[in-house]
Amino acid sequence: MTAMTQEEIVAAVKTVAQGLEALRSEHAGILHGLQEAPDPVANERAGLVQQSAEMIELGLARPSIYANTRYRAAKTKLNHPCLKSDN
C-alpha cells in the first residue's frame, strides 16, 4: 500500500462527503415517503431509515472536524515557526 499525501487525503474525504450528501438526500426522500404510509411495516422501515440517516449525519460531521483540525494545525505552524516540519 502506498502512502497518501495530504492533498490526496483531502480529495478522498471530499469525495466521501459528497457521497454521504447524496445518501442523506436519498434517505430524506425515502423517509418522507415511508412516513406518509399508514402501514405498520412502513413505520418500522421508517425507523430503520432514520437510524441510517443519523449515521450518515455522523459521517458528514467527521470530514468537517478533520478540515477544521487541519486548518488549525496549519495556522499554528504559521504562528510558531519552530513547529514546522522538515518535509
Place of cell 432514520: 50
Distance CA 18, CA 10 (A): 12
Kindly report, residue by residue over 55-75, the tens digit of the pLDDT.
Answer: 999 988 877 777 777 777 777
Are 40 and 69 in contact, with CB atoms under 8 Å apart?
no
Are 63 and 14 in contact, with CB atoms under 8 Å apart?
yes
Are 77 and 24 in contact, with CB atoms under 8 Å apart?
no
Kindly report, residue by residue over 20-55, the tens digit of the pLDDT.
Answer: 999 999 999 999 999 888 898 999 999 999 999 999
